[in-house]
Amino acid sequence: MVVSVHQLDDGAWLSVNDERTVPVSQLWLLARHDICDCEQADFLAEGFVEVGVDWPDVEGRIAGQCIACGASGVTDWLAMGRVDRETGAFRKVVPSSVHVPRRRTKLATPE
Amino acid sequence: MPSKVEGWKDEIYGTEVRDHLYEFAEEGWDAIPEDEHDAWFERFKWWGLYHQRKGQESYFMMRVGVPMGRLTPEQLRVVGEVAREYATGPVENPEFGGAYADFTTRQSIQLHWINVEDIPDIFERLEAVGLSTIQACGDSWRNIVGSPVAGRDADEHLDVWPIVEDLHEEFKGNDLYANLPRKWKVAVTGDTRGAGQGDINDLAFEPAVKEIDGEEVKGFNVRVGGGLARKEPRFARDIDVFCKPEDVGTVAAGLSALFRDHGDREDRFNARIKFLVDEWGTEKVRAVLQDECVEYDLPAAGDNLRDQYDYNAGRADAPGDYVGVHDQHDGDHFVGLSVLVGRMGADEVIELADLAESYGSEMIGVTQRQNLIVGDIASEDLDDFLGESLLETYSPDPHPFLRGSIACTGTEYCSLSIVETKNRMVRYADWLKKNVPVPDGVEDFHIHLSGCTASCAQPQIADISLRGMKTRKDGDPVEAFDVGLGGGLGENPQFADWVEMRVAADEIPGYIRNLLAAYDERRESGQSFRDFVADRDEDELQALADPEETDYEDPYMHNTKMTWYPYADEDDLDASPAPTDPQDEPLPSDD
C-alpha cells in the first residue's frame, strides 16, 4: 500500500494521503529526548520539519519548544500514527501521552 | 533532492493554474481529486488562494495584492462588495460580524470563507477595476510594498509610484520569475519616513543620493535578505549598490534571477534569500549580481537618508505611522485612519469608498500598520471630512493603544498560528484603553500580536511584541505569549528583546499595565519607550514588571486551534459543517 505523507503550509501540518492529520500547536510529552534537561519535555509543536514513513508508522521531526524550561529544538523522529494494513486508514497517536523520539534507521523515502 | 513542493510546481504552476481553477469552479469542490489536494492547494497560492485550516475544508482565504497599498475609491468599493457577497461563512465573528475585509501588514487585502465555485465571478469583478490576486501568495514576486502616498507626500525624496507600477507590470505573470524557490518580497521606498519598511524585505530599494559625473543623482541603495519568520529574523543587508530610478527594473530582475538560480530548492526552511546572504556574504551577492545578472557596471552605494526615518521607529520626536492629518505637496491633505487590527466590516468598506469619492479623493491607501489613508482632501473640506460619523470608529485621532495595535489572522483561519489573535487584540486594546494611563507624550504605542513564529504581524519590530505560545495554568494547557520589548525600525533598526516567556494570555494586559507604570515612573524626561528599553539590560528589563491576572476576561484560553471555528457555539472539530457548498450547506458525505 502506498502512503503519501507531506508537511504542508510551511510545516503547519502533517498530511497523510492528502488529509491534514496532525497540526502544530499541540503539546507533546517527550521522554528520553535531547531537547532539554527536563526528564519529560512538555514540547509545543511549532512546525513539522521532516516527515516520512517507516511502515506502518508515519513519523516526523518537529521544531518547537519545551514550555517547562523554554529550550527550543528539533526532535528526533517521532511516531505520529500508524496506517492500518487492512484499510489504509491513518490512526494518529495522542500527543499528550509519553513519546520517545529515536534516531531513524531507515531512509525517509525508499530509493 | 528537490522538495515535494518543487515537484508539484514542476508539473503545473504559475499562470496555467488559473485554467484548472476555473475547471474546479465549474464542477465544484468535489472535483478537486482528494488524492491531489495537497498539490493543488499549494499551486492555488500562486493565484492568491490559501485553503483554510482543518475544520474549514472547501473554504479559501483570498488575498488581493495591492501595489504599495494604493487603491482608487472604485476599487475599494468593489473589494467591499465582493466581501459582502462572497466572504461569508457558516458562523459570524462576534467582534466583526458576518462579512469583512482584512488589511494586512504587506498592504494587501484578505477575504475569508471563499468557495471555489465563486472564484471566476470574483476574479471578473476584481479584474474589471484593475485588481488581481495574481502572485499574492506562493513562490514568486509578492505584493510590492511602499508608501501609498508616493507622489502626494510632502516628505518625499522621489515619487516611486511610476517605478512600482512598472515593476508590477513586469514581474506579475512573467514566466521567467513565476517559479522562485520561495516567496520574494520587494519594498520600494521613495519617502524620507522609511515607510516602505525595506529592512524586513527580501529586496529593498532605499532612498539615497550619489554624485555621478559631478551631479547629485537621486536614486536608491539596494539591500537584500531581510525577513522575520521562524525565529530567524534578519534585517536586509547593504550590498553596496546604488541604483538610478531607471535601473530599478534591471537590478530587480537581476536579483530575482540570482535567487531563482541559486536559492535552495531542497529545503524550504532554508530557501529564503536571507539564508543565501548568510551563506555567501554581501560581497559575493554583489559579485554574482554583477557577473551573471546585469550588463552594466553597478555603482557603489550612495548616501542614504536613514537618519530621517521615523516610520515605526519608536522615536519620541515623530509619530511612527500615517494616522492623522498630513500635508500633501499640492496643498491638499491625506488623512490616516486607524483600523484596529486591520479588519473592517464590508458595509463600512463600501461606505468609506463612497465617502472618499464624495470628497474628490482619488486614492485610498493601505499601510503596513494595517491602517487606511484617504488622500486628496481639500483644505476647505477637511473639517467636514473629519466630522463624518464613520471616522468616529476609524479615527484619525485614536487612543494610542488602539492606534498602535496590529494582529495577524491567527487560529480563526490560519494553519500555522498557535493562538487566537485579532479578537483577543481587540479585547486587549479595549481593556488597556479603560484601565491603563497613557504616559505623557505617548501618542502611538505599538503592540504587535503574532500567532506564531511566521511573524505576519511583524512582532519583532514593536514597542511590545507578543508571539503566540502555550503554557500551563493549574496544570492545564492554555494559550500564551512570549513578550518582547523595544523593537523598531528607523535609522538603526532593532529586533525586540524577548523578556518574558510563556505568559498566559489572560495575564498580558496586567503585565502591560505594570510595565507602563514602571516606564512612566522611571524614564528620563521625553525618553521614548524604545530608548527606555535600550538603556536596560535583560535582567533590568525582566525586573520592571510581572504578569498579573486582572479583571480582563479572555474567552479564548483553550486550544482554539483544535476547534473548527473558535467562535462557534459548538466549536468541536466534529461539529464543522465543512466541506460545504457556496451556500454554506454541508456537502453529502461519501460514507
Tens digit of each residue's pLDDT (9 = 90 or more) over A7-40: 888 889 999 988 889 999 999 999 999 999 999 9
Are B218 and B101 in the same domain?
no
Q: How confident is the model at residue A106 (pLDDT cuts 50, 70, 90)?
A: low
The minimum CA-CA distance between B268 and chain A, rounded to whole Å, is 8
**Which of A17, A26, A46 lies closest to B452 in CB terms?**
A46
CATH of residue B20: 3.90.480.20
Q: Where are the beta strands (DSSP E) in B276-371?
A: 303-304, 324-327, 333-337, 343-345, 364-366
B277 within 8 A of B287, measured Cβ to Cβ? no
Determine, for residues B268 and A10 on separate chains, whether the beta-carbon distance falls below 8 Å: yes
Are B556 and B408 in the same domain?
yes
Q: Is residue B410 part of a domain?
A: yes
B258 within 8 A of B293, measured Cβ to Cβ? yes
Within an 8 Å CB–CB cutoff, is residue A39 touching chain B?
Answer: no
Whether pLDDT at B408 is above 70: yes
Determine, for residues A24 and B230 on separate chains, whether the beta-carbon distance falls below 8 Å: no
A67 within 8 A of B470, measured Cβ to Cβ? yes
Q: How confident is the model at residue A105 (pLDDT cuts 50, 70, 90)?
A: low
The minimum CA-CA distance between A54 and chain B, rounded to whole Å, is 18
The minimum CA-CA distance between A56 and chain B, rounded to whole Å, is 19
Instruction: Record the cell numbers describing residue B127, joined without a space.
Output: 479584474
**Cα distance between residue A47 and residue B342, in whole Å:** 26
**Cα distance between residue B192 and residue B177, in whole Å:** 30
**Cα distance between residue B13 and residue A50, in whole Å:** 24
Are B428 and B558 in the same domain?
yes
| The predicted structure's pLDDT at residue A108 | 54
Q: How confident is the model at residue B287 (pLDDT cuts 50, 70, 90)?
A: very high
Within an 8 Å CB–CB cutoff, is residue A49 touching chain B?
Answer: yes
The amino acid sitting at B233 is P
Choose among A80, A84, A70, A76: nearest CA to A103.
A76
Residue pLDDT, tens place only, B197-240: 999 999 999 999 999 999 999 999 999 999 999 889 999 999 99
Of B308, B336, B359, which one is at a domain's C-terminal end?
B308
Q: Is residue B578 part of a domain?
A: no
Whether pLDDT at B359 is above 90: yes
Chains A–B, number of C-beta pairs less than 8 Å apart: 77
Residue position matching grid coordinates 492555488: B44
**Which of B35, B416, B418 lies closest to A10 in CB terms?**
B416
Determine, for residues A23 and B36 on separate chains, whether the beta-carbon distance falls below 8 Å: no
**Cα distance between residue A35 and residue A26, in whole Å:** 16
Report the run of H or E that residue B478 belongs to, with start and end.
strand B476-485
Task: Find chain A residues with C-beta within 8 A of B561's C-beta.
Answer: 23-26
Q: How confident is the model at residue A4 (pLDDT cuts 50, 70, 90)?
A: confident
Q: Where are the beta strands (DSSP E) in B213-269?
A: 215-224, 237-243
Percent pLDDT > 70 in chain A is: 92
When the pLDDT of each residue in chain B is averaged and rounded to a whole number, the result is 96
Identify from B418, B479, B481 which residue to disrupt to test chain A contact, counting A C-beta atoms within 10 A and taking the largest count. B418
| The predicted structure's pLDDT at residue A107 | 55
CATH of residue B256: 3.30.413.10
Q: Is residue B317 part of a domain?
A: no
Tally of structural domains, chain B? 4
Report the run of H or E that residue A22 belongs to, with start and end.
strand A19-23
The minimum CA-CA distance between A53 and chain B, rounded to whole Å, is 15
Determine, for residues B415 and A27 on separate chains, whether the beta-carbon distance falls below 8 Å: no
CA A103, A104, A108: angle at the middle one, nearest 5?
145
CB atoms within 10 A of CB B305: 20
Q: How confident is the model at residue A110 (pLDDT cuts 50, 70, 90)?
A: very low
| The predicted structure's pLDDT at residue B313 | 95
The minimum CA-CA distance between B185 and chain A, rounded to whole Å, is 17
| The predicted structure's pLDDT at residue A19 | 87
CA B243, B106, B134: angle at the middle one, nearest 5?
90
| The predicted structure's pLDDT at residue A40 | 95
Nearest CA in chain B to A24: B416
Query: Residue A107: how many CA atoms within 13 Å on its side-chain side?
Result: 3
Are B411 and B392 in the same domain?
no
Determine, for residues B416 and A42 on separate chains, whether the beta-carbon distance falls below 8 Å: no
B40 within 8 A of B206, measured Cβ to Cβ? no
Within an 8 Å CB–CB cutoff, is residue A6 touching chain B?
Answer: yes
Whether pLDDT at A111 is above 50: no
Average pLDDT over residues B533-548: 97
| The predicted structure's pLDDT at residue A10 | 84
**Cα distance between residue A22 and residue A99, in whole Å:** 15
Q: Is residue B257 part of a domain?
A: yes
Q: Is residue B570 part of a domain?
A: no
**Cα distance between residue B363 and residue B161, in whole Å:** 12
Residue pLDDT, tens place only, B24-79: 999 999 999 999 999 999 999 999 999 999 999 999 999 999 999 999 999 999 99
**Which of A15, A25, A46 lies closest to B38 in CB terms?**
A15
**Cα distance between residue B451 and residue B302, in whole Å:** 39
Instruction: Record the cell numbers describing residue B227, joined without a space.
Output: 525577513
Within an 8 Å CB–CB cutoff, is residue A34 touching chain B?
Answer: no
Provide the β-strand partners of residue B186.
B203
The amino acid sitting at B106 is R
Name every residue whose Cβ is closer than 8 Å to that of residue B346 and which is 6 or more positions away in sequence. B80, B81, B83, B84, B87, B99, B100, B101
Within an 8 Å CB–CB cutoff, is residue A75 touching chain B?
Answer: no
Longest distance between any two alpha carbons in chain A, whole Å:
42
Are B412 and B548 in the same domain?
yes
The amino acid sitting at B491 is E
The minimum CA-CA distance between B470 and chain A, rounded to whole Å, is 7
- What range does the domain containing B233 cover? 161-308
Determine, for residues B231 and A67 on separate chains, whether the beta-carbon distance falls below 8 Å: no
Determine, for residues A46 and B453 on separate chains, whether the beta-carbon distance falls below 8 Å: yes
Task: Find chain B residues with C-beta within 8 A of A9's C-beta.
Answer: 50, 415-416
**Cα distance between residue A33 and residue B91, in whole Å:** 42
Nearest CA in chain A to B451: A25
B466 within 8 A of B547, measured Cβ to Cβ? no
Determine, for residues A18 and B35 on separate chains, whether the beta-carbon distance falls below 8 Å: yes
**Cα distance between residue B128 and residue B121, in whole Å:** 11
Determine, for residues B501 and A70 on separate chains, whether the beta-carbon distance falls below 8 Å: yes
Within an 8 Å CB–CB cutoff, is residue A111 touching chain B?
Answer: no
Are B382 and B407 in the same domain?
no
Determine, for residues B470 and A44 on separate chains, whether the beta-carbon distance falls below 8 Å: yes
Determine, for residues A67 and B417 on separate chains, whether the beta-carbon distance falls below 8 Å: no
Determine, for residues B418 and A9 on separate chains, whether the beta-carbon distance falls below 8 Å: no
Determine, for residues B269 and A49 on separate chains, whether the beta-carbon distance falls below 8 Å: yes
Nearest CA in chain A to B503: A67
Are B277 and B373 in the same domain?
no
Residue position matching grid coordinates 493565484: B47
Instruction: Record the cell numbers describing residue B238, joined without a space.
Output: 547593504
Task: Find chain A residues with C-beta within 8 A of B477's C-beta.
Answer: 27
Are B432 and B517 in the same domain?
yes
How much is the CA Rg of chain A, to the nearest whole Å? 13
Determine, for residues A24 and B418 on separate chains, whether the beta-carbon distance falls below 8 Å: yes
Whether pLDDT at B340 is above 50: yes
Provide the β-strand partners of residue B51.
B60
Are B354 and B460 in the same domain?
no
Residue pLDDT, tens place only, B99-128: 999 999 999 999 999 999 999 999 999 999
How much is the CA Rg of chain B, to the nearest whole Å? 23
Q: Is residue B145 part of a domain?
A: no
**Cα distance between residue B9 and residue B362, in whole Å:** 39
Of B373, B397, B421, which one is at a domain's C-terminal end?
B397
Are B242 and B170 in the same domain?
yes
Task: Find chain A residues with C-beta within 8 A of B40's C-beta.
Answer: none
Task: Tell me the H-state helices in chain A.
Answer: none
The minimum CA-CA distance between B388 and chain A, rounded to whole Å, is 43
Q: How confident is the model at residue B1 (pLDDT cuts 50, 70, 90)?
A: confident
Provide the β-strand partners of residue B564.
none
Q: Is residue B549 part of a domain?
A: yes
Nearest CA in chain B to A44: B470
Whether pLDDT at A1 is above 70: no
Q: What is the DSSP string of B177-191?
A: GSS-SS-B-EEE--B
**Cα distance between residue B480 and residue B415, in whole Å:** 17
Q: Is residue B385 part of a domain?
A: yes
Identify from A4, A19, A25 which residue to disrupt to test chain B contact, counting B C-beta atoms within 10 A and taking the largest count. A25
Q: How confident is the model at residue B535 (pLDDT cuts 50, 70, 90)?
A: very high
More confident residue, A106 or B243: B243
Task: Find chain A residues with C-beta within 8 A of B41's C-beta.
Answer: 8
| The predicted structure's pLDDT at residue B348 | 98
Whether pLDDT at B478 is above 60: yes
User: Torsions phi, psi of B209, nearest 5?
Assistant: -130, 150
> Beta strands B70-71 and B497-504: pairing type?
unpaired
User: Three-state SS across B482-517?
Assistant: EEEECCECCCCCECCEEEEEEEEHHHHHHHHHHHHH
Whether pLDDT at B441 is above 80: yes
Report the run of H or E that residue B218 belongs to, with start and end.
strand B215-224
Within an 8 Å CB–CB cutoff, is residue A94 touching chain B?
Answer: no
Identify from A9, A27, A61 which residue to disrupt to test chain B contact, counting B C-beta atoms within 10 A and taking the largest count. A9
Task: Find chain A residues with C-beta within 8 A of B419's C-beta.
Answer: 25
| The predicted structure's pLDDT at residue A55 | 86
The amino acid sitting at A45 is A
Within an 8 Å CB–CB cutoff, is residue A50 touching chain B?
Answer: no
**Cα distance between residue B275 and residue B196, in whole Å:** 22
Are B352 and B220 in the same domain?
no
Determine, for residues B230 and A70 on separate chains, whether the beta-carbon distance falls below 8 Å: no
Whether pLDDT at A90 is above 70: yes
Are B376 and B392 in the same domain?
yes
Determine, for residues B269 and A46 on separate chains, whether the beta-carbon distance falls below 8 Å: no
Task: Find chain A residues with C-beta within 8 A of B559's C-beta.
Answer: 25-26
